[in-house]
Structure 1
Amino acid sequence: MRFMDVFAGCGGLSLGLLKAGCEGVVAIEKNPMAFETLKHNLIDGARYQFQWPSWLPKQAISCEDFLEGFGEKIRLLRGTIDLMVGGPPCQGFSTAGRRDPADPRNKMAEQYLELVKIVLPKFIVIENVSGFNSKFSEAKCSGCDEDHHFKKSYADFISGELSKIGYSVSRGKVNCADFGVPQNRRRYIIICSLSGTEGLLETLVDKRQEFLQLKGLPVARPVSVYEAIADLQTRGRELVENSDSNVKGFFEAVYKVPQISSPYLAIMREGFYGAPNSRRLPRHKLDTIAQFGRIQSESQPGRSLSKEARDKLGLKKHAITVLTKNAPSPTITTLPDDIIHYDELRILTARETARIQSFPDWFEFTGKYTTGGKSRRFECPRYTQIGNAVPPLLAEAIGHLLLEQAVCLDDGELNKTYKGPANATPEF
């Protein structure tokens, strides 16, 4: 199954599909930092390489520029792409944000649809935040251009457009923890089939136990953060200067390969015998460390710090959670100070967040670790790359499902399965 990944980020979706046995062809990502990590690991990686077309430069590009600059070449991809995946940027309709229907990032989902009409893949997977299916209020829509579809959810809008093109659409929310990811990360998934196959999302959920057994992961309980990151602790370890950052003055703990691995850690190590990168420790001030101690004493592990506790500690930050050792993590975000380690007075390292997102240790993140100020609008450092990614384990489960469901469509079958208006054809 040949796939293209649109709004690919650092490659979480692509990695899972490749591990399932799919073949990558094209990845579209406009941020140079995220694309460099993707290219380093998967496009030109030591373990995986995309079958990249000769006419497309291996560089960051937006979906809009891809459509405008390579229109004729893209048309040649029709009939060669079995699967198109992608998670259009969600900030405009995330319930964690301001839900601005005029946010130009919402338009990227429509560019995704235009690409679908040209390539017409057999299957489509769209992953996004759970708020993807929440409706915009009409009050916020006043004054917006083309605001008619903002009165319903963006998921409704996209699903309706895909149905017009001819796809059977299956959609709903899943918790990544149900697929072995040590994280309660609830996402909205849309899975579409051009062959008329119905209920693919329901089939994915039904097959979760089969997938967990295939991976050797527990079925009756979720994977805990302790199983995911215990070997990355710093207490009792020698600290040395961090080796994978251009910024001096940071340290990392010397990594010791564990003698005994949990089933989850065995997947993360996956034949990799060295020390994973991105283990740079935060450089906390003494009063910050002391504050972390107070937060741990006032918090209910696994739950975001209550407003009463925040007021008592004089905290302005709204979301801060101390991990529960023997439970999954809350959702990993792009903000590293949202979560405090369960046993050490610090935030997590980038590698620890990657483990919780189910990125294996051989996968190397590139670029700066963090950014701030106005640069946050343009840069995508390591913590952001990881927080924005689709957990590869969930993507691998989707890949296994679609490989089983794959149907080879020739031109005649394609005409038979097109479900648009009887007197219309897709707009290519």
Structure 2
Amino acid sequence: MRFIDVFAGCGGLSLGLLKAGCQGVAAIEKNPMAFQTLKHNLIDGDRYRFNWPSWLPIEAMSCEAFLENYKSHLLKLAGTIDLMVGGPPCQGFSTAGRRNPEDPRNKMAEQYLELVKIIRPNFIVIENVSGFNSRFTRKNSDAEVDGKYITQSYADFICESLSSLGYAVSRGKINCADFGVPQNRHRYLIVCSLVDCEDLFQRLRDSSVRFKALKGLDVNKATTVRDAIFDLETTSKVLVDNSDSGVRGFRELDYTLPLVLSPYLKLMRDGFSGVPNSMRLPNHKAKTIEQFESIRQMAVPGKSISKASREFLGLKKHAITVLTSGEPSPTITTLPDDIIHYSENRILTARESARIQSFPDWFEFTGKYTTGGAARKFDCPRYTQVGNAVPPLLSEAIGNMIRAASADQRSKKLAEVDSKSCCV
């Protein structure tokens, strides 16, 4: 199955589809930092490689530029692409921030629809935050907002548009933890087919137990944070200089593989024999470490610290969670200081966040680790790449389901042809 990934980020969605046996054709991502990570692993990589077309430069580009500059080539792709996937930027929809119907990033979903009109893929998967299906509301009577954002959610708008293009649309919220990801990450999925078939979203949900069994995970319990990162704990272990960030003065764990691996860790190692990258430990000041200890004493593990506790500690941040080792993590975000390690007074490393997102250890993140100030609007450092990604385990489950649905459709067509032949 040939797929195109739009708003591809660092490649989490593409990676899962490739692992499911699909063939990548192109990945469109505007940010150069995120695209470089995808290119490093999935275009120039040793394990997986896109079958990249010669007419398309292997470089970061916007969906808008893809449409404007290569339309003649895209028209020739019509009918040759089995699957188009993508997660349009979610800042305008996210309930974690300011829901803004006029956020220009919302328009990117409409560019995605324009691509659908041209390429006409057999299947479509759109992934976004759960707030994607929440209605925008007018905050004051003077607001000048396009009516479609007021009367319906953006998900409703997209689904109605896809239906008008002839797609059978199914959709709903899903928890990535149901597919073995050690994280309660709730996402909204829209799954479509040009052939009117059963509810593909429900088919995906129904496949979760079978998928976990296929991956060797316990079907009766969720994958925990400790299952994912216990081998990356640093207490009483040897530390060495970090060498992959280009900044001196940072340390990382001198990694050795444990003798006993959890089923999840076996998945994350994925036959890899080396040391994963992005292991740089934070250089916390003594005052910060003391503050983390105070937060640990007052917080309920696994839950964001209460407003009363924040005020007592003089914290400005609204969301800080101390992890619980025996449960899945809350949603991994682009801000590393949202989460404190379950047993150490520090934030997670980029690799620990990647493990919780289900990226295998051989997958290397490139570029700077963090950014700040005005650069936040333009940079996509490693922590941001990880936080924005679709968990590859979920994506692999999606790929398996789409391939099975496609096979069923082909079988049904053959049966119909045989039936007509018998009648003749």
TM-score with structure 2 length normalisation? 0.95
Residues in 2 aligned to 1:51 and 1:179: alpha-carbon distance in whole angstroms: 28
**Unmatched runs of 5 consecutive residues or more in structure 2:** 414-424
Matching residue of 1:88: 88
Q: CA deviation at 1:143?
A: 4.3
Matching residue of 2:4: 4
Matching residue of 1:329: 329
Q: CA deviation at 1:253?
A: 1.1
TM-score with structure 1 length normalisation? 0.94
Residues in 2 aligned to 1:194 and 1:49: alpha-carbon distance in whole angstroms: 27
Matching residue of 2:130: 130
Q: How does 1:312-391 map to 2 (within 5 A)?
A: 312-391=312-391
Matching residue of 1:35: 35
**8 Å Cα contact 1:25-1:50 kept in structure 2:** yes
Residues in 2 aligned to 1:116 and 1:154: alpha-carbon distance in whole angstroms: 17
Matching residue of 1:63: 63
Residues in 1 aligned to 2:106 and 2:222: alpha-carbon distance in whole angstroms: 34
Matching residue of 1:214: 214
Residues in 2 aligned to 1:193 and 1:364: alpha-carbon distance in whole angstroms: 33
Residues in 2 aligned to 1:279 and 1:3: alpha-carbon distance in whole angstroms: 32
Count of aligned positions: 411
**8 Å Cα contact 2:148-2:157 kept in structure 1:** no
**8 Å Cα contact 2:101-2:149 kept in structure 1:** no
Matching residue of 1:416: none
For 1:307, the aligned partner's letter is K
For 2:121, the aligned partner's letter is P
Comparing 81-90 with 142-151, greater Cα deviation is found at 142-151
**8 Å Cα contact 1:138-1:151 kept in structure 2:** no
Residues in 2 aligned to 1:407 and 1:79: alpha-carbon distance in whole angstroms: 17
- Pair 366,224 (structure 1): closer, same or farther in 2 beyond 3 Å: same
Residues in 2 aligned to 1:157 and 1:219: alpha-carbon distance in whole angstroms: 36
Matching residue of 1:100: 100
Residues in 1 aligned to 2:119 and 2:103: alpha-carbon distance in whole angstroms: 27
Residues in 1 aligned to 2:10 and 2:150: alpha-carbon distance in whole angstroms: 29
Matching residue of 1:274: 274
For 1:67, the aligned partner's letter is L
**8 Å Cα contact 1:6-1:87 kept in structure 2:** yes
Q: How does 1:241-260 map to 2 (within 5 A)?
A: 241-260=241-260
Q: CA deviation at 1:249?
A: 1.1
1:286-313 superposed Cα distances (whole Å, 9 cap, x missing partner):
0100110111010110000011111111
Matching residue of 2:16: 16
1:379-403 superposed Cα distances (whole Å, 9 cap, x missing partner):
1000000000000000000000000
Q: CA deviation at 1:198?
A: 2.8
Matching residue of 2:173: 173
Comparing 268-277 with 399-408, greater Cα deviation is found at 399-408
- Pair 117,342 (structure 1): closer, same or farther in 2 beyond 3 Å: same
Q: CA deviation at 1:252?
A: 0.5
Matching residue of 2:225: 225
Task: Classify the secondary structure of the residue corresponding to 2:223.
Answer: coil
For 1:121, the aligned partner's letter is P
Matching residue of 1:420: none
Matching residue of 1:308: 308
**8 Å Cα contact 1:90-1:132 kept in structure 2:** yes
**8 Å Cα contact 1:100-1:140 kept in structure 2:** no
1:216-237 superposed Cα distances (whole Å, 9 cap, x missing partner):
1011110000000000011122
Task: Classify the secondary structure of the residue corresponding to 2:111.
Answer: helix
Matching residue of 2:286: 286
**8 Å Cα contact 2:5-2:85 kept in structure 1:** yes
- % of aligned pairs identical? 66
Q: CA deviation at 1:93?
A: 1.2
For 2:402, the aligned partner's letter is L
Residues in 2 aligned to 1:186 and 1:18: alpha-carbon distance in whole angstroms: 23
1:313-363 superposed Cα distances (whole Å, 9 cap, x missing partner):
111110000000100000000000000000001000000000000000000
Residues in 1 aligned to 2:123 and 2:310: alpha-carbon distance in whole angstroms: 46
Q: CA deviation at 1:78?
A: 0.9
Name the Cα RMSD after superposition: 1.4
For 2:100, the aligned partner's letter is D
**8 Å Cα contact 1:272-1:362 kept in structure 2:** yes
**8 Å Cα contact 2:123-2:194 kept in structure 1:** yes
For 1:5, the aligned partner's letter is D
Matching residue of 2:188: 188
- Pair 320,292 (structure 1): closer, same or farther in 2 beyond 3 Å: same
Q: Which runs of at least 4 in structure 1 moved beyond 2 Å after TM superposition?
A: 138-151, 407-410
Matching residue of 1:417: none
Residues in 2 aligned to 1:407 and 1:158: alpha-carbon distance in whole angstroms: 27
Q: CA deviation at 1:150?
A: 3.7
Matching residue of 1:422: none
**8 Å Cα contact 1:195-1:407 kept in structure 2:** no
Task: Classify the secondary structure of the residue corresponding to 2:77.
Answer: coil
**8 Å Cα contact 1:169-1:198 kept in structure 2:** no
Matching residue of 1:202: 202
Residues in 2 aligned to 1:56 and 1:145: alpha-carbon distance in whole angstroms: 37
Matching residue of 2:420: none
Residues in 1 aligned to 2:148 and 2:276: alpha-carbon distance in whole angstroms: 48
1:65-108 superposed Cα distances (whole Å, 9 cap, x missing partner):
11001110111111110000000000011111111111100000
Residues in 1 aligned to 2:395 and 2:198: alpha-carbon distance in whole angstroms: 19
